[in-house]
Amino acid sequence: MFTRTESFQSFIRFYPVVSVIAAIHIFFWLLFLIPLPTTQIVLRLLEGYNAGIAAGEYWRFVTPIFLHVGFSHVLFNSISLILFAPALERLLKKPKFIILYLGSGVFANIATYLLEPLEYSHIGASGAIFGLFGIYLFMVYFRKGMIDQANSQIILSILVIGVIMTFLSANINIVAHLFGLIGGFLLGPLLIKKRPGFVHETYYQPRPSKSTFQLKNITGKHVFWLVLGFLILIGFLSRFF
């Protein structure tokens, strides 16, 4: 369910919404790396700035969901999206998945506006990402036929770690994390009807593997996921240095 065996091209074809969202993450992250005044103006215009929302700039409930500045920030949110969102895009289909992702993120940003001071500003997809875990949590307890025990344990373990790290890490929008989780959970009964039998196969069928490793068997798919894993390691280590 959370194991990615697709090639890069197959992933884009099977999960277009997830692919587009990840591309938007990377686009804005690269844009903000450009040391120009205009890029900073764009950031200030799109970030979740409570005073701006109070002045009627309601787009700020949505736009922060797609913005990241730090490398580790965009890396972990994008990796989480790539690992945990495809199964939901397939299960819910594109329109409902978009409602889940944006709905959770907006719910988290509204809570941030209501509970944080006017001078507070924030960016990041963490509220929407936690919304994914929120609907998974709903499925674990109220749609038990849709997720097997092994994947349920994975979800609960990652969720517990994520919540703990929310309170231990610096510069974290705690409100967005918690209310993104709640938002995804509340959207569960609206987006998922009662029906058993969620199938955990993927669209992509990998070639049968050989017992002997050979360099000639390495494909673009292997290189892509190897580089992705390497970037995850760099992002993780960057949080300690």
Active site residues: 126, 177
Surface-to-core class of residue 8, CB atoms within 10 Å of its CB (0-12 exposed, 13-18 middle, 19+ buried):
middle
Per the structure block, which two tokens stand in for 95? 């329109």
* Spatial contact of 134 and 187, defined as CB atoms under 8 Å apart: yes
Do the beta carbons of residue 50 and residue 121 sit within 8 Å? yes
**47, 122 contact by CB (below 8 A):** yes
Q: Determine how many CB atoms are found less than 10 A away from the CB of residue 190.
A: 12
From residue 213, alpha-carbon distances to 43, 209, 210 in Å are 47, 9, 7
CB 106 within 8 A of CB 62: yes
Task: Report d(CA 131, CA 104) in Å as an integer.
Answer: 5
Query: What is the residue whose two structure tokens read 């091209």?
Result: 9
* Backbone dihedral region for residue 60 (phi beyond 0: left; psi -120 to 50: alpha; all else: beta): alpha
